[in-house]
Structure 1
Amino acid sequence: MATTKTGEPLDRATLDTILRRRLFYTPSFEIYGGVSGLYDYGPPGCALQANLIDLWRKHFVLEEDMLEVDCTMLTPHEVLKTSGHVDKFSDFMCKDPKTGEIFRADHLVEEVLEARLKGDKEARGLEAGKVEETAEEIKGAEDKKKRKKKVKDIKVVKLSDEKVQEYEEILAKIDNYDGDQLGELILKHEIHNPVTGGPLNPPIAFNLMFGTSIGPSTNMPGFLRPETAQGQFLNFSKLLEFNNLRMPFASASIGKSFRNEISPRQGLLRVREFLMAEIEHFVDPENKAHPNFKDVEHIKLKFLPKDVQEQGKTELIEKTVGEAVQSGMVDNQTLGYFLARIALFLEKIGIDQNKIRFRQHMANEMAHYATDCWDAELQTSYGWIECVGCADRSAYDLTVHAKKTNTDLNVVETLAEPKRYEAWEAEIDKKKFGPKFKKDAKAVEEALLALDQTQLEKFAEELKAGSFKINVPSLGEVELTPELLTITKQQKIEHTRSYVPNVIEPSFGIGRILYALMEHSFWTRPEDALRGVLSFPPVVAPTKALIVPLSSNPVFNPLIAELMKKMRQAGISNRVDASSATIGKRYARNDELGTPFGVTVDFQSVKDNTVTLRDRDTMKQVRGTIDEVVGAIKNVVDGVETWDDIKGRLKVFEGQELEE
């Protein structure tokens, strides 16, 4: 069950009402009926997102000395064909043949089985006399018979212990099923259209990319990018040169991506257009140590490794990052380093540390390019939601793009000491080779160059005996004789080493992080359940301070103007609420917006230039001069001081009751 900051059950409907009413976000094209999976951010949503991105840039781009790029959202078909997205970037969907309604198969299985497990818990609670744990519809029933009738009406059914265990094991492995396996689950467990009860067609793959054409004709098909990564890979050699050929290094990109979600039903968590922040850390494949690993190896994280999931379990393993890397659970230091840095960032923006876990991808769900991948999942009222992925993409992307375009995307480094070794080498007699094979000479030569050392050694022995045969694409087997070439072992000296970098990629879904932050920050006043509060940390809060004049008396105007000017000069975003509502109501409205501080201008302010400073979460107030209060807000926003520090050095204000 999702809970608020105070431990009370989270009422998602109440939170959603506040977020929409206060214009954090709103459905796009709403007066036309809206489009599923598309949303617009209002002023507080924009400010919250901008503050989060600003903190992300400081935490990663600035602190890690990354190279930021901004690449186009339009991508030619050929690029995404090479990367594998055209063939493999798909989810599985089921269609109701009668209504035409579409469902994403894994989500449907997950939702139905979770609903059945919830019904089982309610039925068991009813049997135990725990009426308070049953569904809302059965509350208030006076006797057991009435309760049972209500339970039957809402399909609360007790499951066998074996069935409960089976469902829990399926849910633990839900991300590991392919289309055929999902189809088998749907048939076996009689999963139908949740609304009509009608049967569904077997799951089929659906590519998630938005197709388009670039230019006035259809000669250049393309897509809206599904990720920001490809632009970074294609600019790799230029970034390497910009970085003075130094390795390792990282690039970063923040921008919109697009995925044509099958059936988006989870608000901001599953949308068709979204903001991503992605890092591509290029590293030597033979040395994935990180120079700053010692700074984070002590940090404890909650891990859900793949072997636990494959057993149908979800128990978390708490380890330090150092222990996880040393044991081999996390593949390498650089991957572990970024898992820790991700956790520190999420903590900094206000994510509840009791609602975060790092889940390792299982075999079937692992991306085609990845050798290891962990998701930072955040717990919400929708369950555990992937918000950050951190993958070791190996050398896949650079390799396939280099091969497709015949472009050198290697790193060449000078060795500290020359490397001496022996190697088999084929030397062609071009005077005889060309006339022998004519137009096919190049294809035969390329086949020879593709041979590895073991094959060359074998063919050298066969050549001594008279000839050997190799397979040449488009030609088949070709026989080669001693007059055409020689294969000998040569002494080699290398002064440089050439390699294709591997890539560690942390990928952030900004919209999902924002929504999880909203849930994790939301609570209601104990004395009034209708008074919602969003306790955003001051560093990311949309507005840092509310200026509240005691009344509309014009005598306050000069002080208000002075406060606004000094706050803006200090980089503190602020708003003035001079409405006729009581001060309590004005503060309550801004508690819903997550504004951490309120500054009240009253008649005492006119006399001595002092104002009161109110803390959003505790509603406690202190008093100081305008400069002292502005400085206090600045220090808390910058992380230099806390509210307790401010309360300790400024005079506590208890004179006037400002709350309703």
Structure 2
Amino acid sequence: MSTTTDIKGQPLDRAFLDGLLRRRLFYTPSFEIYNGVSGLYDYGPPGCALQANIIDLWRKHFILEEDMLEVDCTVLTPHEVLKTSGHVDKFADWMCKDPKNGDILRADHFVEDVLETRLRGDKEARGEKIEEKEESDAKKKKKKTKGQEAIKLDDEVVKEYESILAQIDNYNGEQLGELIKKYDLRNPATGVQPTPPVAFNLMFQTSIGPSSNLPGYLRPETAQGQFLNFHKLLEFNTGQMPFASASIGKSYRNEISPRAGLLRVREFLMAEIEHFVDPEGHKKHHRFGEVEDIELVLLDRETQLSGQTTLRKIAIGKAVKDGLVDNETLGYFLARIHLFLKKLGIDQSKVRFRQHMANEMAHYATDCWDAELLTSTGWVECVGCADRSAYDLSVHAKKTGAPLVVRERLETPKVIEELQVEIEKKKFGPAFKKDARAIETALLDTTQEQREKLAKELEENGKVILDVAGVADGKAEVGKDLLKIEFRKRTENVREYTPNVIEPSFGIGRILYSLIEHVYWSRASDGGDEARSVLSFPPAVAPTKVLVVPLSAKEEFRPLVRQVLQKLRAAGISSRVDDSSASIGKRYARNDELGTPFGITVDFQTIKDGSVTLRDRDSTRQVRADMDKIVSAIQTLVSDSKTWQDVESELPKFETQELEIR
């Protein structure tokens, strides 16, 4: 039930902002003239440019800064790969169905929406103030809801609802079904209780090749391609550990009930990192000292399980030391994620890192934290940072026999005394015939603990009875004439181990939309025209950096405009010209809505001395100088080496057209 505001502290009108984004073609529903398909969107020119700039910043911040190895793997993935990884069996959400109208509902979202609506009704019944956005949502819900007028709830019920909402991500399907029954939760559209939740696999299934004999899926993440190429990447990295791979590309999830525009879609751009680390090194990171004093806002699992959402700000060094964050490498990437979001322009008062609870943890994870951003729809997971342990490499190596391990030569050879299995080969084969290989494999795969028990059994009974899949009765009896289990010494010159993996995973579309909300505001808050919306993107990610505005359409202005554009292109600065008949103020206002941070005006003074004005989007203040100095100033602003205040202190102010431009 959180209410969000724009930069100036005014309530954020999401419907108005969405209208602006579609009108300015940041994005648009796919196949709209065919009535569209929910969860699919196309990006227009400013949306494409914004996304490209976010990716460019991501590459510089992570791939270049951390010397990562970038790969681009195929989207089509054979069934066997995702069966082995666990996605075929476990990559699912819980859904339920309205028996009256057939609506398909995502169970956790359904529970969340109905309880939040009831809490709004309680707040209204108590006469408490409801913020503008919250009140608007409540009215919309009220129109659809049958028998859920503003009713005061018991204090205990309010506490129960708040506790459920605090840990909504931790409930499994059975528990969600129990909540639906216990609190008589009904679909607002029909007033009917939905059916019990069932698991729905989120992957898009397809077949590969004309014969359709090879089943496959559109990948739900970019990670598997990185794991399968691990051995080649290790060789490319000359066998050096630790190292990280990275991949940027489309992934696909067949969402049950896409909603909230770009925040929940079926096709989306991901940027994922797989950092491979030696588990014996306690997952330490050699650059952790650079970030240990950075403070993060954390919501840990224990707080959520207690039914609370209390946040605490803590230095990442202390969080790792106290065991709140599992290890240094995980903590290092949480801090680096924080710095990346800050560099993008994300409002730091609307960022938190939430730890996953047991039931919501992915099947491969041992610990996971989400970077969540506060938007008009509430807190949204935009980055996941998981410790995947050795799960993926282990299961793929076991399935394929591929050497997805690290072999490290030891400086000092290690002498190891251990129980070893010795099989009498000449007698073993004839004794077990076609089952010999399976029984031998089962014996060799035993652990030291299992071998201790087998050695004792062999000594006491003269034989061992072993569980072996695929043989008659699933059991095999091996006598002491065929088998020895004895302590022996061996010298190990090479250490072999399966790396653990720390995985930061970024949903670029969610970050993009959250950023738009965080930088949006209206000139109305400064006493201007209410229709003059502004997107205050940092110059580095703004779709277009400079708007060039000729004051007149006269022929003599055209060579000067071309000259400005050539200088901007040579400097690598994106720009566009607006030479329409609208007033200069309206032309700038249109581009404030596109987030263009700077404007160059070519006027009659330019014809005389070659000077131009440079306008700052947010303050609307201007300076004037010759073209080269202005272009140089823009370069420093875009690279973030100088601020607008620095430029104002260095170049002459220009105020003649201030009122007209505002």
Given that residues 146 and 190 in structure 2 are in contact (C-alpha distance below 8 angstroms), is that contact kept between their aligned partners in structure 1? no
Would you say 1:242 and 2:240 are equivalent positions?
Answer: no
Q: Distance in 1 between matches of 2:48 and 2:464?
A: 69
Give the alignment of 1:54-453 within 5 angstroms: 54-125=56-127, 135=135, 155-287=149-281, 288-453=283-448
Deviations 1:324-383 (A, max 9, x none): 100011111000000000000000011000000000000000011100000000000000
Task: Give the AA of the match of 2:464.
Answer: F
Q: Distance in 2 between matches of 1:656 and 1:172?
A: 53
Given that residues 375 and 390 in structure 1 are in contact (C-alpha distance below 8 angstroms), is that contact kept between their aligned partners in structure 2? yes
Deviations 1:608-652 (A, max 9, x none): 111111100011111111011101111110111111100110001
Residue in structure 1 matched with residue 661 of structure 2 by the alignment: 659
Given that residues 122 and 133 in structure 1 are in contact (C-alpha distance below 8 angstroms), is that contact kept between their aligned partners in structure 2? no
Residue in structure 2 matched with residue 143 of structure 1 by the alignment: none
Q: Distance in 1 between matches of 2:71 and 2:134?
A: 53
Task: Give the AA of the match of 1:469.
Answer: I
Q: Distance in 1 between matches of 2:416 and 2:428?
A: 29
Q: CA 1:20/1:212 → structure 2, altered by over 3 Å: closer, same or farther?
A: same
Q: Distance in 2 between matches of 1:131 and 1:504?
A: 41
Q: Distance in 1 between matches of 2:448 and 2:214?
A: 42
Residue in structure 1 matched with residue 582 of structure 2 by the alignment: 581
What secondary structure sits across from 1:604 in the alignment?
helix
Would you say 1:474 and 2:476 are equivalent positions?
Answer: no
Q: Distance in 1 between matches of 2:481 and 2:219?
A: 53
Task: Give the AA of the match of 1:51.
Answer: N
Given that residues 125 and 131 in structure 1 are in contact (C-alpha distance below 8 angstroms), is that contact kept between their aligned partners in structure 2? no
Deviations 1:500-555 (A, max 9, x none): 11110000000000000000010001222211000000000000000011121222
TM-score (norm 1): 0.96
What secondary structure sits across from 2:417 in the alignment?
strand
Task: Give the AA of the match of 1:87.
Answer: D
Give the alignment of 1:476-491 within 5 angstroms: 476-491=474-489
Task: Give the AA of the match of 2:274.
Answer: E
Deviations 1:129-187 (A, max 9, x none): x8989835999xxxxxxxxxxx9998222222111111110000100001111111111
Residue in structure 2 matched with residue 29 of structure 1 by the alignment: 31
Q: Distance in 2 between matches of 1:265 and 1:80?
A: 27
- For these two proteins, the number of residue pairs brought into alignment is 647
Q: Distance in 2 between matches of 1:7 and 1:452?
A: 62
Task: Give the AA of the match of 2:505.
Answer: S
Given that residues 300 and 321 in structure 1 are in contact (C-alpha distance below 8 angstroms), is that contact kept between their aligned partners in structure 2? yes
Residue in structure 2 matched with residue 638 of structure 1 by the alignment: 639
Residue in structure 2 matched with residue 147 of structure 1 by the alignment: none
Given that residues 252 and 279 in structure 1 are in contact (C-alpha distance below 8 angstroms), is that contact kept between their aligned partners in structure 2? yes
Task: Give the AA of the match of 1:448.
Answer: L
Given that residues 146 and 191 in structure 2 are in contact (C-alpha distance below 8 angstroms), is that contact kept between their aligned partners in structure 1? no
Residue in structure 2 matched with residue 42 of structure 1 by the alignment: 44
Q: Distance in 2 between matches of 1:4 and 1:451?
A: 61
What secondary structure sits across from 1:548 in the alignment?
strand
Task: Give the AA of the match of 1:490.
Answer: R
With 414-423 and 113-122 compared, the bigger mean Cα shift is at 113-122
Given that residues 23 and 41 in structure 1 are in contact (C-alpha distance below 8 angstroms), is that contact kept between their aligned partners in structure 2? yes
Segments of structure 2 that go 5 or more residues without pairing to the other structure are 140-144
Given that residues 118 and 148 in structure 2 are in contact (C-alpha distance below 8 angstroms), is that contact kept between their aligned partners in structure 1? no
Q: CA 1:322/1:270 → structure 2, altered by over 3 Å: closer, same or farther?
A: same
Would you say 1:607 and 2:608 are equivalent positions?
Answer: yes
Task: Give the AA of the match of 2:588.
Answer: Y
Task: Give the AA of the match of 2:563.
Answer: E
Q: Distance in 1 between matches of 2:405 and 2:267?
A: 34
Task: Give the AA of the match of 2:639.
Answer: D
TM-score (norm 2): 0.95
Q: CA 1:356/1:566 → structure 2, altered by over 3 Å: closer, same or farther?
A: same
Residue in structure 2 matched with residue 569 of structure 1 by the alignment: 570
Given that residues 100 and 190 in structure 2 are in contact (C-alpha distance below 8 angstroms), is that contact kept between their aligned partners in structure 1? no
Q: CA deviation at 1:111?
A: 1.1
With 459-468 and 521-530 compared, the bigger mean Cα shift is at 459-468
Q: CA deviation at 1:424?
A: 1.0
Q: CA 1:174/1:152 → structure 2, altered by over 3 Å: closer, same or farther?
A: closer
Q: Distance in 1 between matches of 2:413 and 2:107?
A: 57
Q: CA deviation at 1:402?
A: 0.8
With 454-463 and 379-388 compared, the bigger mean Cα shift is at 454-463
Residue among 502, 505, 527 paired with 2:500: 502
Q: CA 1:101/1:310 → structure 2, altered by over 3 Å: closer, same or farther?
A: same
Task: Give the AA of the match of 1:567.
Answer: L
What secondary structure sits across from 1:115 in the alignment?
helix
Q: Distance in 1 between matches of 2:315 and 2:132?
A: 40
Given that residues 71 and 232 in structure 1 are in contact (C-alpha distance below 8 angstroms), is that contact kept between their aligned partners in structure 2? yes
What secondary structure sits across from 1:125 in the alignment?
coil
Q: Distance in 1 between matches of 2:451 and 2:601?
A: 84
Q: CA 1:196/1:455 → structure 2, altered by over 3 Å: closer, same or farther?
A: closer
Given that residues 76 and 218 in structure 2 are in contact (C-alpha distance below 8 angstroms), is that contact kept between their aligned partners in structure 1? yes
Q: CA 1:582/1:608 → structure 2, altered by over 3 Å: closer, same or farther?
A: same
Identity of counterpart residues, as a percentage? 66
Residue among 487, 500, 510 paired with 1:512: 510
Q: CA deviation at 1:416?
A: 2.0
Q: CA 1:134/1:66 → structure 2, altered by over 3 Å: closer, same or farther?
A: closer
Q: Distance in 2 between matches of 1:575 and 1:484?
A: 83
What secondary structure sits across from 1:652 in the alignment?
coil
Q: Distance in 1 between matches of 2:133 and 2:417?
A: 75
Given that residues 125 and 133 in structure 1 are in contact (C-alpha distance below 8 angstroms), is that contact kept between their aligned partners in structure 2? no
Q: Distance in 2 between matches of 1:459 and 1:4?
A: 69
Given that residues 26 and 42 in structure 1 are in contact (C-alpha distance below 8 angstroms), is that contact kept between their aligned partners in structure 2? yes
Segments of structure 1 that go 5 or more residues without pairing to the other structure are 140-150
Q: CA deviation at 1:467?
A: 2.5
What secondary structure sits across from 2:210 in the alignment?
coil
Q: Distance in 1 between matches of 2:400 and 2:617?
A: 57
What secondary structure sits across from 2:661 in the alignment?
coil
What secondary structure sits across from 2:418 in the alignment?
strand
Residue in structure 1 matched with residue 142 of structure 2 by the alignment: none
Q: Distance in 2 between matches of 1:87 and 1:51?
A: 37
Given that residues 89 and 207 in structure 1 are in contact (C-alpha distance below 8 angstroms), is that contact kept between their aligned partners in structure 2? yes
Task: Give the AA of the match of 1:305.
Answer: D
What secondary structure sits across from 1:218 in the alignment?
coil
What secondary structure sits across from 2:506 in the alignment?
strand
Q: CA 1:448/1:93 → structure 2, altered by over 3 Å: closer, same or farther?
A: same
What secondary structure sits across from 2:122 in the alignment?
helix
What secondary structure sits across from 1:558 in the alignment?
helix
Given that residues 415 and 497 in structure 1 are in contact (C-alpha distance below 8 angstroms), is that contact kept between their aligned partners in structure 2? yes
